[in-house]
Amino acid sequence: MRHGSTEWAARGRHTGRTDVALTAEGEAQARAAAGRLTGLGLHDPAVLCSPRRRSARTAELAGLDARTWDALAEWDYGDYEGLTTPQIRELVPHWTVWTHPCPGGEDADAVESRADLVLSVAESHLPGRDVVLVGHGHFSRALIARWVGFPVLEGRRFALSPGAVTVLGYERGVRQIVAHNAS
């Protein structure tokens, strides 16, 4: 699940380490997610969320008792923190987080390693319970890509709205996307 909307996200500012609050709309999105989660009929869910308050507050408003985990933090944008894509492209034409490095931050290989760790830990819980991960836009999209065996680069193909839920699962032992970007 992606956290609800923030002022920075609404303005297109890359928000990794900066700890911004949810907007009133973001809080409403988080409350609305509670119904979607209830509808899933989760079994004894292990709930993990990013340590950023926008994610922790989203989990709280969605009725989840979450434990924070640094590995679920957003992509570290380094020197590009707080900038919009058009501002970054003034410096680096055609820049995207998926295809170019973030000086002073993470590159796609680092994010891929972190996503694989998160999925490994989450998957280890699945035989006995469901897992809910509450995080951020880019990193959650990286998780989705890695779940189905794609490189992090392919996270660019998965839109993920603020407060939206994606359900990952299996069919006959094969990882799949069961539902995506439900809001």
For all residues of the chain together, what is the average pLDDT? 97
Tell me what the mean pLDDT of segment 121-141 comes to. Answer: 97
Residue in 3, 14, 136, 138 annotated catalytic: 3
Task: Report the C-alpha gap between 103 and 154 in whole angstroms.
Answer: 21
Which pLDDT does position 28 carry in this prediction?
98
Task: Please report which confidence band the pLDDT of residue 44 belongs to, taking 50, 70 and 90 as the band edges.
Answer: very high
Task: Please report which confidence band the pLDDT of residue 32 belongs to, taking 50, 70 and 90 as the band edges.
Answer: very high
Radius of gyration for the alpha carbons in the chain, expressed in angstroms and rounded: 16
Which pLDDT does position 169 carry in this prediction?
96
Task: Please report which confidence band the pLDDT of residue 100 belongs to, taking 50, 70 and 90 as the band edges.
Answer: very high
In Å, how far from its chain's centre is CA 164?
Answer: 10
User: Tokens for 73?
Assistant: 């933090």
Q: Where are the alpha helices (DSSP H) in 40-161?
A: 53-61, 85-91, 108-125, 137-147
Task: Report the C-alpha gap between 138 and 74 in whole angstroms.
Answer: 7
In Å, how far from its chain's centre is CA 60?
Answer: 16
Which pLDDT does position 41 carry in this prediction?
94
Question: Is 180 one of the catalytic residues?
Answer: no
Residue in 14, 27, 74, 112 annotated catalytic: 74
- For 128-137, the pLDDT digits (tens) are 999 999 999 9
Higher pLDDT, 183 or 104: 104
Which pLDDT does position 110 carry in this prediction?
96
Question: Is 138 one of the catalytic residues?
Answer: no
Tell me what the mean pLDDT of segment 24-45 comes to. Answer: 96
Task: Report the C-alpha gap between 183 and 6 in whole angstroms.
Answer: 16
